[in-house]
A and B are shown apart, each in its own frame.
Chain A
């Protein structure tokens, strides 16, 4: 069961192809991190999913329905937090939450109380006078309290200090820890925070999806390989096999590369390829995987499973 399914989703702005024939599934109940460099198309993709933009072609399905047909009632189940959203921020916190409370049938006053205690926001002043972090907390608070089935977060951590990031992450985890299933899609540059939070990862480049899979599988599949032995440089296949990226022979006795298709047979295959060599494999962080995929050739062959 997928919370979101995109099929050939495309959006052009004039000559700019912001999202190009994108196909993606976000499993229900997952915390799906959407990574990509600036201009990769993350925000456009999220706006297409939420029917804030109309696709040039293709379609997306959200919680089982066509995203182009999302209506007001669907947003009883969908929450969206983004920095550039224009909120009624002249209100103070109580009015702000009171306004949103009256919009949602499923508003959880107990959760509101818990999160208000956790976030420790000032009550009497207008939200527009809040600091950036406090403002994000208030907006997240107004979104978490109706317990959305799908929570979409666009760059929620950018420019926030570590303490605020921790508070926000705790708030999100509070929601996902509940009995009712909640899918979280989060786009961010803050890969370290994402790694703590996400269990699925999608990487976007030039409007196309480069990879999308469970974080554990991804971290198993992507391995840094070091081959050490006499004359290994001469044994290095040319061209490099599919699935090897950033392969280089640093010295005649050392080859380093990232294997993107690592599995239980990979080490045995490498030993047969490099006779008398020592093979060392190590797990990559999500940051390294992201950088490896971003800096690899524009071709995405071999990255997708």
Chain B
């Protein structure tokens, strides 16, 4: 115990100044965030905050490296090797030094910042502890690399080498295709590359993934460090690190643990291949743009059989387009879904007591080789392939009266209406008057209360009408780690025709009378398990290929 305290005291004594500097930088960052939160009229100085956050990250890494490399593990010249200091004691003292010097002040400050934002103590502690856990997981990795090296230079070189290897590995296994890469063909159905089958969902709540991933990475870091310190052998330590971190990164993908309150409130039956039917909308393909040798065309899917609150996004697709002259184009598509209308649907169900839609149209961008497309332009083609869809559940989080200063809080997240004003649109600035609403959202890092996405809609309940965002005028996000202050300015237009086959919304002016009865609805969305469905031969659609 005395040797543990001696080493701890030595490390804290040597690095207290750097640790204090790290804490002070964090104090400044948080103070800035709190200042902007208290003064919504001030423009967010994101670049200044970014500099602060980068400086803090650099200092944290330097402190961690110095603390660990003060007593080298992989060097028989290290003094501790011939002093009464055990390997376990040394490891424990290093982890405690990093926790006391870096993690604990961070948790303390984050908690304080959230308390100043009137968050409850429990919410503040949970959110800050979650951030602290993430910081500790990162620190254990830095400590591991530091233990395997002898100097800051060696640390930087090894980190860069690992970064390069991981980047290359990620690219080579990510399935990113260039437009000219051909997708695999297996009979009529074209299997997707690098996606799991429908019985093994790869999409779980980000909450679940975050928590399980962080715990796994913490365990991997701890185990690797223990092996490194106890054996003192570089090869064994490298092997342990590679194996445990690989398992830690992969394990959460096979683990579905429902921790998110948002997801737990979702209907028990998420859309599945058996309950939903995905077909082509059968519309003409329109060319959106041409990038280098590829053409991006618009392609719309129709999904039937959705349950309340659920909608679909594209995840990815592999398609074969066969022209009337039997010429074939292979194309691929990646997610470009739009949750707006589902958000409207969820709001309509909750606020306006309307029936939910059971079908939805989801437009997607399909990438086709330009050279192949040229010969088929203007003709009709049959489209078939495999599509991977990602269900998404929407629900109302808050209902806010449209008065500046009004705010609501739930699960550590808070929304506040900052301004509402007329927004002229059109050449003469008088063509159409939209209404813009600016909202500050303080979104905590508490993983159990941070859905992936938020949407806003306006509802005039007396009139039973709804306005959807027509233009996203401005969105600025200031993230300190403990919280994110997101300022969003959206222009709304009235759209009371929320029909299943309508995308985008028809704009109608909102007058002052309409706005007086309007309420701002905040909706959150959480993803459900993704699945793959084939566009079978008998469901293949015919579409006109874009003409010049």
B79-99 near A? 1/0 per residue, CB < 8 Å? 101111111010000000000
B10 is an interface residue with CB less than 8 A from chain A: yes
8 Å CB interface, A148-207 against B: none
B142 is an interface residue with CB less than 8 A from chain A: no
Partner-contacting stretch, out of A95-103, A216-224, A228-236, A289-297: A95-103
Q: Given the complex, which residues of A lie within 8 Å of B77, measured CB to CB?
A: 82, 84-86
Residues A85 and B85 in contact in the complex (CB < 8 Å), given A72-B3, A99-B10, A103-B6: no
A241-269 near B? 1/0 per residue, CB < 8 Å? 00000000000000000000000000000
Partner-contacting stretch, out of B25-33, B68-76, B372-380: B68-76
Q: Given the complex, which residues of A lie within 8 Å of B89, measured CB to CB?
A: 72
Q: Which of B3, B5, B79, B84 contacts A87 (CB 8 A)?
A: B79
Q: Is the CB of B14 within 8 A of A90?
A: yes
| Interchain CA distance A87-B6 in the complex, whole Å | 14
A110 is an interface residue with CB less than 8 A from chain B: no
Q: Given the complex, which residues of B lie within 8 Å of A102, measured CB to CB?
A: 2-3, 5-6, 9
B462 is an interface residue with CB less than 8 A from chain A: no
Q: Which of B14, B72, B75, B84 contacts A103 (CB 8 A)?
A: B84
Q: Given the complex, which residues of A lie within 8 Å of B79, measured CB to CB?
A: 85-88
Min CB distance, B232 to chain A, in Å? 10
B43 is an interface residue with CB less than 8 A from chain A: no
Min CB distance, A247 to chain B, in Å? 43
Q: Is the CB of A72 within 8 A of B84?
A: yes
| Interchain CA distance A50-B6 in the complex, whole Å | 22
B187 is an interface residue with CB less than 8 A from chain A: no
A104 is an interface residue with CB less than 8 A from chain B: yes
Number of A-B contacts (CB under 8 A): 61
Q: Is the CB of B76 within 8 A of A88?
A: no
| Interchain CA distance A106-B442 in the complex, whole Å | 58
Residues A78 and B82 in contact in the complex (CB < 8 Å), given A86-B72, A88-B70, A95-B13: yes
A130 is an interface residue with CB less than 8 A from chain B: no
Min CB distance, B90 to chain A, in Å? 9
Min CB distance, B75 to chain A, in Å? 7
A72-88 near B? 1/0 per residue, CB < 8 Å? 11111011101011111
Min CB distance, A287 to chain B, in Å? 30
Q: Is the CB of B83 within 8 A of A100?
A: yes
Residue from A71, A80, A85, A91 having most chain B Cβ neighbours under 10 A = A85
A304 is an interface residue with CB less than 8 A from chain B: no
Residues A103 and B83 in contact in the complex (CB < 8 Å), given A52-B76, A86-B75: yes
Residues A72 and B2 in contact in the complex (CB < 8 Å), given A52-B76, A88-B10: no
| Interchain CA distance A82-B75 in the complex, whole Å | 14
A47 is an interface residue with CB less than 8 A from chain B: yes
| Interchain CA distance A267-B5 in the complex, whole Å | 66
Min CB distance, A46 to chain B, in Å? 10
Residue of chain B at shortest CB distance from A47:
B76
Q: Is the CB of B6 within 8 A of A99?
A: yes
A53 is an interface residue with CB less than 8 A from chain B: yes
Residue from B13, B78, B82 having most chain A Cβ neighbours under 10 A = B82
| Interchain CA distance A72-B5 in the complex, whole Å | 15
8 Å CB interface, A114-165 against B: none
Residues A53 and B83 in contact in the complex (CB < 8 Å), given A72-B3, A99-B6: no
Residue of chain A at shortest CB distance from B2:
A102
Chain B interface residue count: which class? 20 to 34
8 Å CB interface, B1-48 against A: 2-3, 5-6, 9-10, 13-14
| Interchain CA distance A73-B82 in the complex, whole Å | 10
Residue of chain A at shortest CB distance from B78:
A86
Q: Given the complex, which residues of A lie within 8 Å of B5, measured CB to CB?
A: 102
Q: Is the CB of A52 within 8 A of B6?
A: no
Min CB distance, A64 to chain B, in Å? 17
| Interchain CA distance A265-B83 in the complex, whole Å | 50
Q: Is the CB of A76 within 8 A of B10?
A: no
Residue from B2, B76, B81, B89 having most chain A Cβ neighbours under 10 A = B81
Q: Is the CB of B6 within 8 A of A72?
A: no
Residue of chain B at shortest CB distance from A87:
B79
Min CB distance, A42 to chain B, in Å? 15
Residues A71 and B86 in contact in the complex (CB < 8 Å), given A86-B75, A86-B77: yes
Residue of chain B at shortest CB distance from A82:
B77
Min CB distance, A81 to chain B, in Å? 9
Q: Given the complex, which residues of B lie within 8 Å of A75, measured CB to CB?
A: 82-85
| Interchain CA distance A95-B77 in the complex, whole Å | 21
Q: Is the CB of A76 within 8 A of B84?
A: yes
| Interchain CA distance A50-B83 in the complex, whole Å | 11
| Interchain CA distance A204-B78 in the complex, whole Å | 26
Q: Given the complex, which residues of A lie within 8 Å of B83, measured CB to CB?
A: 72, 75, 100, 103
Q: Is the CB of A72 within 8 A of B13?
A: no
| Interchain CA distance A74-B81 in the complex, whole Å | 11
Min CB distance, A61 to chain B, in Å? 17
| Interchain CA distance A12-B499 in the complex, whole Å | 81
| Interchain CA distance A78-B82 in the complex, whole Å | 8
Q: Given the complex, which residues of B lie within 8 Å of A52, measured CB to CB?
A: 76, 81-82
Min CB distance, B70 to chain A, in Å? 7
| Interchain CA distance A104-B13 in the complex, whole Å | 20
Q: Given the complex, which residues of A lie within 8 Å of B75, measured CB to CB?
A: 86
| Interchain CA distance A142-B75 in the complex, whole Å | 21
Q: Given the complex, which residues of A lie within 8 Å of B9, measured CB to CB?
A: 99, 102
Q: Given the complex, which residues of A lie within 8 Å of B76, measured CB to CB?
A: 47, 52-53
Q: Given the complex, which residues of B lie within 8 Å of A88, measured CB to CB?
A: 10, 14, 70, 79
| Interchain CA distance A88-B2 in the complex, whole Å | 17
| Interchain CA distance A111-B79 in the complex, whole Å | 22
| Interchain CA distance A258-B181 in the complex, whole Å | 85
Q: Given the complex, which residues of B lie within 8 Å of A47, measured CB to CB?
A: 76
| Interchain CA distance A73-B1 in the complex, whole Å | 12
Min CB distance, A103 to chain B, in Å? 5
| Interchain CA distance A136-B2 in the complex, whole Å | 26
Q: Is the CB of A103 within 8 A of B82?
A: no
Q: Given the complex, which residues of A lie within 8 Å of B14, measured CB to CB?
A: 88, 90
Q: Given the complex, which residues of B lie within 8 Å of A90, measured CB to CB?
A: 14
Min CB distance, B89 to chain A, in Å? 7
Residues A73 and B13 in contact in the complex (CB < 8 Å), given A88-B79, A102-B2: no
Residue of chain A at shortest CB distance from B5:
A102
Q: Is the CB of A72 within 8 A of B70?
A: no
Q: Please give me the 3 A-B residue pairs with the lowest Cβ-Cβ distance, nearest first.
A: A72-B86, A80-B82, A52-B76
- Interface pairs (14), CB distance under 8 Å: A50-B81, A71-B86, A72-B3, A72-B85, A73-B86, A79-B82, A85-B78, A86-B72, A87-B79, A88-B79, A99-B10, A102-B2, A102-B9, A103-B3
Extra contacts, 8 of them, besides A72-B89, A99-B9, A102-B3 (Cβ < 8 A), are A47-B76, A50-B82, A72-B86, A75-B84, A78-B82, A91-B10, A99-B6, A100-B83
